[in-house]
Amino acid sequence: MKVLLIGSGGREHALAWALSASPLLTKLYCAPGNPGIAEAAECVAIPATDHDGLLAFAREKGIDFVVIGPEQPLVDGLWDKLEAAGIKTLGPSKAGAVLEGSKGYVKDLCAENAIPTAAYRRFDAPGPAKDFAATLGLPVVIKADGLAAGKGVVIAQTREEADAAIDAVGGDMVIEEYLDGEEASFFVLSDGEHVVPLGGAQDHKRAFDGDKGPNTGGMGAYSPAPIFDEAVAAKTMDKIVRPTIAAMARRGTPYMGVLFAGLMIKDGEPKLIEYNCRFGDPECQVLMMRLKSDLLTALLAARDRQLAHLDLRWSDDAALTVVMATRGYPGDYAKGSAISGLDAASEHARIFHAGTALKAGHIVANGGRVLAVTATAPTIADAQRRAYEAVDKIDWPEGFCRRDIGYRALKR
């Protein structure tokens, strides 16, 4: 089976690595990929935004199945385009990807189906939004409605901050109550009707140790997450995920693909913060390290509406990943700094490339998040130790990482 994977980050390197182990696979392509992905797939220089180019490539090579890593092509309808051309693709469809594309849509869906989430109201103008925000306690949460790559959320600590954030959004927005608790991520695979859990993880969104500094795409993750125990997982499936999948089916827009639920957990009760229509990055890296079953079989079953017959096996080991980023990230940073020591580091951990390039045969940094150094061990503590042993073998003066990935789990 010929598979085309779309994307170029650490998530896609982890997917490429897992897909390349499949007995069903005859050839793996990745568009556009990166030098790490090139070890597992043939990379082709087509950007994820070039839907016509991707379709033409898939036709030319006779691609049997397409897996889309990032949210933007899904929200932009790449699934619909490829499927309309007869090319099997892991969703969701454009209509399904609204679960990530519109925060207001998700909040209304939660309200209609009694799914636990923060109290909220939707607005399309600043005046009434400010009046409503003033009725909530502090902090108060302001969310722009569309896709914002994690930048559309403000947690305002004062009334002035709240008003300024509301003015900055200007148009469609959600104002909601602040939820207290501990965050976790939960992943499932859906075929539109049946749902198979893919496990829980926790990431670290702030740039610096102790959860200080600006928000990032994620500086590290681990799985399993002790706070996301079996009881919480069962509640999340029953009260949040299954009602959502059922509601999407009733609306005539069945959700097929990976669904990522961002949760706030307090006293063992999960509430939905947000949905994403894809794997998390770097959560995908730790999930793929723990998956013992064949990923390609599972993703195909979701596409073919066969999940009722699928049973996935997971390692009991813990996996932990440390993201190495270029100094300056998530603000301005330089590209092109040289990285060495990757071979020595690979003896301790698996190094997924997130933002690298090849320059004169040498690996250089080519993005904000650059490497995801990922280790497994029977305990989170041991996985953490192994991951940092590998990090310490990497010689990259222009890079930085957090030194405390996993601290919440280790504190428990």
Q: Is 145 in the site for ligand AMP (CB under 6 A)?
A: no
- Given candidates 81, 262, 317, 337, which one binds ligand AMP under the rule CB under 6 A? 262
Q: Which is nearer to ligand GLY, 218 or 367 (CB)?
A: 218
Q: Which residues pair with 183 in a beta bridge?
A: 264
Q: Rounded distance, CA 124 to CA 173, Å? A: 6
Q: Is 150 in the site for ligand AMP (CB under 6 A)?
A: yes
- Given candidates 91, 96, 101, 217, which one binds ligand GLY under the rule CB under 6 A? 217
Which two three-digit tokens encode residue 96?
A: 């399904």
Q: Are strands 318-326 and 399-400 parallel, antiparallel or unpaired?
A: antiparallel
Q: Is 141 in the site for ligand AMP (CB under 6 A)?
A: yes
Q: Work out what residue 130 binds among ligand GLY, ligand AMP, none; the CB cut-off runs from 5 to 8 Å by kind.
A: none
* Concatenated DSSP letters of 374-412: EEEESSHHHHHHHHHHHHTT-B-TTEE--S-TTHHHHH-
- Given candidates 274, 317, 382, 389, which one binds ligand AMP under the rule CB under 6 A? 274
- Given candidates 218, 220, 270, 330, which one binds ligand GLY under the rule CB under 6 A? 218
Q: Rounded distance, CA 155 to CA 53, Å? A: 40
Q: Is 276 in the site for ligand GLY (CB under 6 A)?
A: yes
Q: Which is nearer to ligand AMP, 176 or 281 (CB)?
A: 176
Q: Rounded distance, CA 113 to CA 98, Å? A: 17
Q: Is 118 in the site for ligand AMP (CB under 6 A)?
A: yes
Q: Work out what residue 218 binds among ligand GLY, ligand AMP, none; the CB cut-off runs from 5 to 8 Å by kind.
A: ligand GLY
Q: Write down how long the chain is.
A: 412
Residue for token digits 């066969």?
306
Strands (E), 238-294: 256-266, 269-276
- Beta carbons within 8 Å of 17's beta carbon, 6+ residues apart: 40, 288, 350, 352
Q: Is 176 in the site for ligand GLY (CB under 6 A)?
A: no
| CA 148 to each of CA 142, 266, 303, 407: distance values in angstroms, whole numbers, following the listed order | 13, 27, 27, 28
Contact track, ligand AMP, 177-196, x by CB under 6 A: -xx---x-------------
Q: Is 226 in the site for ligand AMP (CB under 6 A)?
A: no
Q: Is 9 in the site for ligand GLY (CB under 6 A)?
A: no
Q: Which residues bind ligand GLY (CB under 6 A)?
A: 203, 217-218, 276, 280-281, 283
Residue ranges binding ligand AMP (CB under 6 A)? 118, 141, 150, 153, 155, 176, 178-179, 183, 205, 262, 273-274
